Every structure is written in structure tokens, then in C-alpha cells.
Chains A and B, each alone.
Chain A
Amino acid sequence: MTEHDVLASAAAEPLLVDGGEIRRAIEYYIERGWTDGLPVVPVTESYVAEFLARTRRDPAEVVLAMPHLERSCTVRVAAINAALAGCRPEYFPVVLAAWDSLRKEGYAERGLWQSTTGTAPFLVVNGPIRNELGINCRGNVFGSGFRANATIGRAIRLTAINCFGLRPHELDQATQGTPAKYTACIGENEEDSPWPGLHTEYGFAASDSTVTAMVIRSVVHIEARHTTVPEQLALDLAGTLSRTGALIHETISGCLVLGPEHAHVFARAGWSRRDLRQFVYEHAGRTRAELAAVGKDAVSGKTRWRLPADHPEAVPDRHTEQGRQGLVHVLNSPEALQVVVAGANNAGVSAVVETFGPRGGPPAITRIDT
């Protein structure tokens, strides 16, 4: 009998397990604190083995370490938490690729997941695996309703809690956090995008499946149904990206998640992804007066965080140092901005995902080893 047959027959037969027994198991996990607050799937050794069978990697191999906590996560611990999160075993290669990208991305190993800022990992999946596993890349892409999106992201969070001990009010010191802490995993809508997939920009083949990881602070909604002029739409995106509340460091970074309708506005005008990134880089900024009005017209000489010019630590920002006039750019380069296409092709809606740190250079991408 194949796995599919087993599941099909299980669905056809009445459930013979007493619900009280299942609840008892779920309550046990919650009492131990092995949860993000929602019920988790009870996990036994045989179920973990199904996950480990999906990879050639040694169960003892470390996927990510947090040296400042003297803790690390192995392939086996990642598998246990993927199972707890409700992943199917075939999702496990995606979860492992996500860990590889999070390690390359670097902020987790430097303790940022514990910060008061309250960040969350954000995963973008490209390639054929999206359709094989049912990873949603169309309508409600940031919302609920899809097991793969819901559980792959949750596998990361449960590992942060159960393996690294990043529990709220304890080692997770987030002031408010973000709803993305439950899960933040989307597929790129390559089918409705006018451009090749994100991963192909960084040397992967369209037939490769990949996970790109970023650490994010928030997802800001853009509703722009009023224009088909690419410059107007790009300025609307740039204006949202450069909001002063996001500008804690000297510069910021972001990922535009364009709804297909918006992506086509740019593509119809002959803009590539690169053209859009260049335009937004040039136009995302604030005037010196706007920065002064919110007390962010200088930076700390120690941390490069933005400060009022009369603060004891204040030094001029690079824009002033270099004697430049006009708009103070909020991105250090076009490379500090990523562009992904996701969502339904049904309205002029996009999002600015605010990624943590100044960035620039290629994002953290890993090929999924299937």
C-alpha cells in the first residue's frame, strides 16, 4: 500500500481513536510549553523517521547554531518541530532549505530573533515544488488557508521556541512582535508574473526549487487601483518604503511583493525587475526637513542609528558627509530592495515587506534538495 492509499482509506473509514486521547496528548505538549499557543501535532519516533527519510543528511548535522545561547538545532530536531507544526513529511526538504537560507542570512545566529524590535523569518519559495506541495502563491498569499504555507513557516517558529528557548517574556524580548511570527511563507506567483522567477536572478535555473529567507519587521499594504502609469505606481511604493517610522538605522531595506496586476503595469511599460529596483532606489527618500521634524536627521557615531542632530552621540549621516543635496536616500543601493510577484491577479494590491538591516548584495537563497 502506498502512503496515498493509506491516507485515502483512513479518510474513508470512521475514526477509531477516542478524541479524549488525542486531546490528552495535545494538552501534554502545551503544558510542557512546546507550542506557539496553538495545538501541535503529537509526534512519535516513527513519525519523525518519515521526515528523516526525506533527506540524505545526517540527523546529527547542525542546521543552525546560536553561539550566544550555546544552543544549536540539528536535522533531527528540525524534523521533530516540522512534525509538531503539522508539516507533511514531504515538506521537510523545504524546511531544511529554509534553515540553510536563514543560516546564510545571518541575523538569527547573531541573536536578532530575541530583539525588542520583534522580527520574524520570511520565506519565499520558487520553482516547481510550489505546485507539487500546494504552496500558495496566489490569492490570500499572506493569509490563512494553505497547509504548506501555514506549517513550513510554523516549523521555524516552533524550533525557535522549543530548541533555542525563544519564548516570549523570556529569551524572546519582542516588545510587540508581528503576526508573521506564527508563519510567513509564500510562493512566488511565477505563472502570473511577467518576469522570470526571483531565483533565476541569482543563478538558479527556472526548474530549480529554492527557498529565499529574510528577517522582517512588518508587511505594509499598498492599494493602488488609480493608475497605470509606472512612475506613479513606483513612487507610491517608494513613498511607503521610506516611511520615517521604519527608518531606525541610517538606511533600511525591503522586499516589494507585487500583486500580478501591478507587476504587469511595469512590464507593459518595458520595465524589468532591475529597472524597478533602480527607480525605487533613486526615489525612496525623505527631505532633510522631514527627517529633522521626526528627530532623525543625524546618526549615532556608535551604532549608526538615526538620532536628532542635537543628541550627544550625533554625527552627520553619509548623505551630509558627502555634501549631497535633495532627497536623503533610505536604501544604500538598488540591491537593498528585492522584488517578488505574489497574490491573485485580481486587483491593484501589493505589499512592502520591511526587511531588517541595511542589506545590499544577493539575498540568502538555497536550492531545495529533493
Chain B
Amino acid sequence: MADGILLERAGVPAVSICTDAFTVPARAMAKAYGFPGFAFVTVPHPVASLTREQISQRAREVVPDVLRILGVE
């Protein structure tokens, strides 16, 4: 979350992605960085134990959300 905010502030478009288990800490971190409305993407928890194919599937699923936050038409 912090990395995403710092990249955005440096002028680099960024989208933070975390699992839904971290939604509350992610919002708290955004608030701590003075960016309480920072938009981010969540994926179902967990990811650490997924296979390579399952990870790819998760990535495909969130692409529309990532593009939406980036403002891609």
C-alpha cells in the first residue's frame, strides 16, 4: 500500500493489490500516509499457497479493476 502511494506521489501510475484479509490494514496504512481514499484492488485470500496456474487466474480476474483504477478507457 505504501509503495503504491509513494509511486503515485512520484508521478508513476500504480495500483496496490492485496488479499481481502488485509482490507482494513490497507485502509489504515493509506490513512497513515495521508491518502485515506486511495483506491486499491483486493483478491481472495490466500495467495501464498496457490499454484502458478491459480496465481495466473487471480491476475486475469483483477486486470479489469487495475485498468479501471489506472483510468484506462
Contact = CB atoms under 8 A, between A and B. Distances in A.
A173 B26 CA distance: 10
A165 B29 CA distance: 10
Nearest to B24: A169
A69 to B, nearest CB: 5
A173 B22 contact: yes
Contacts of A169: 24-25
B32 to A, nearest CB: 5
B24 A71 contact: no
Nearest to B6: A68
A312 interface: yes
A71 B31 CA distance: 13
B52 interface: yes
B28 A171 contact: yes
Contacts of B52: 312
B interface majority secondary structure: helix
Interface string B1-38: 01000000000000000000010110011001100000
Interface in A15-74: 68-71
Interface string A289-326: 00000000000000000000000100000000000000
B33 A171 contact: no
B25 A173 contact: yes
A170 interface: yes
B2 A170 contact: no
Contacts of A114: 25
A171 B25 contact: yes
Contacts of A170: 24-25, 28
A70 B33 contact: yes
A198 to B, nearest CB: 36
A139 B52 CA distance: 52
Query: Which of A70, A167, A173 counts the most B-chain CB atoms under 10 A from its CB?
Result: A173
A68 B2 contact: yes
Nearest to B25: A173
Interface string A255-275: 000000000000000000000
Interface string B31-48: 011000000000000000
A322 to B, nearest CB: 29
A319 B9 CA distance: 44
Contacts of A165: 28, 32
Nearest to A172: B25
Contacts of B24: 169-170
Interface of B: 2, 22, 24-25, 28-29, 32-33, 52
Interface of A: 68-71, 114, 165, 167, 169-171, 173, 312
5 contacts: A69-B32, A114-B25, A167-B28, A170-B24, A312-B52
Given A170-B25, A171-B29, A173-B25, 18 more contacts: A68-B2, A69-B32, A70-B32, A70-B33, A71-B32, A114-B25, A165-B28, A165-B32, A167-B28, A169-B24, A169-B25, A170-B24, A170-B28, A171-B25, A171-B28, A171-B32, A173-B22, A312-B52
